[in-house]
Amino acid sequence: MMTEMHDPHEKVVPERLKFIKSLMFPAVFVLLIWIVKTTELVFDLEFYSWGLFPQKLDGLRGIVFSPFIHGDFSHLISNTFPLLLLGSALFYFYRDVAFRVLLLSVLITGLWVWVLGRPSYHIGASGIIYSLAAFLFVSGVIRRHPRLMALSLLVVFLYGGMVWGVFPVQERVSWESHLMGMLSGIMLAFFYRSHGPQRKKYSWELEPEEEEPAEGPVPGLPARQPADSDGSGITHTGTGPVEYSYREGLVKTRGNRQAGK
């Protein structure tokens, strides 16, 4: 009798590669925002005018460029780790829709801020962070997938305090970006609820389908024939034409009457 030996590292390696791949795009995004800030510092430049300015046509470019622009290194550092963590979680657990969710988070959040925001330059990637956090939390809740619900709890544990950022507490903080980001994340979670990992359904959760009654003659009754003028079926049994009433269950023979069964 032969037995096959399985390497315990066979399952570990694919998971490790999956994690590395999920980290790549968020890392590239973070690298870009650091390059932008370093360029400002080295060449004594200010890119804030490329930020999002609501209700102005030239402010529309900020929908794309504002996530890469930050006021100072403190602002940049505070956004770096959430982008890496939440971005990696998005690409790891929802890789089928990750790019679409990230792109739509940027566009929807930016567009709503451009329509509803205060007349000032809005810069930074915090709107994307709020959108990703909301998406990951709500997706885990509505899917009821064990691993995704655990991720939702982790998001609440790490970033639950972010909810206060959606209120106009600090004047120089774009609470509009935070609020619109959170709303866009919730909307995307419901929109893509049928995409990506789904909770396994067990046999006792599946409702049996109701079988439709088969069409055909009823056992013990003569086959239905075309109806005559009074609506009863006609059969040809016995010595003469026989009328059978399906409603009353009586058999009638023209000229004489017989009791039906």
pLDDT in tens, 114-165: 999 999 999 999 999 999 999 999 998 898 777 778 878 888 888 888 889 9
pLDDT in tens, 163-217: 899 999 888 899 999 999 999 999 999 999 887 666 665 454 455 555 555 555 5
Domain membership flag for residue 239: yes
For the segment 45-64, the average pLDDT, to the nearest whole number, is 95
Q: Specify whether 120 is located in the same domain as 194.
A: yes
CATH number for 161: 1.20.1540.10
pLDDT in tens, 237-248: 445 554 444 444
Q: What is the pLDDT of residue 70?
A: 95
Q: pTM surpassing 0.85?
A: no
Q: Specify whether 252 is located in the same domain as 147.
A: no
Structurally, the chain folds into a number of domains equal to: 2
The owner of tokens 């396994």 is 200
Q: Specify whether 54 is located in the same domain as 95.
A: yes
Q: What is the pLDDT of residue 256?
A: 47
Q: What is the pLDDT of residue 134?
A: 94
Domain membership flag for residue 143: yes
Q: Specify whether 111 is located in the same domain as 174.
A: yes
The owner of tokens 């096959």 is 4
Give CB contacts under 8 A, 24+ apart, made by 107-113.
107/63, 108/180, 108/184, 108/187, 108/188, 109/177, 109/180, 109/181, 109/184, 110/52, 110/62, 110/63, 110/64, 110/66, 111/63, 112/180, 112/183, 112/184, 113/52, 113/54, 113/174, 113/176, 113/177, 113/180
Q: Specify whether 43 is located in the same domain as 170.
A: yes
Question: Domain range spanning residue 258?
Answer: 223-261
Could you tell me if 76 and 70 are in contact, meaning their C-beta atoms sit under 8 angstroms apart? yes
Domain membership flag for residue 214: no
Mean residue pLDDT across the chain: 80
The token duo for 225 is: 């024939």
For the segment 85-100, the average pLDDT, to the nearest whole number, is 93
Domain membership flag for residue 8: no
Burial of 250 (0-12, 13-18, 19+ CB in 10 A): middle
Among 33-37, 99-103, 113-117, 254-258, the least confident range: 254-258
Domain membership flag for residue 78: yes
DSSP 180-249: HHHHHHHHHHHHTTTSS--PPPPGGGSPPPPPPPPPSPPTTSPPP--B-TTS-EEE--SSS-EEEETTTT
Under 8 Å CB-to-CB from 86, ≥6 apart: which residues?
26, 129, 132, 133, 136, 155, 159
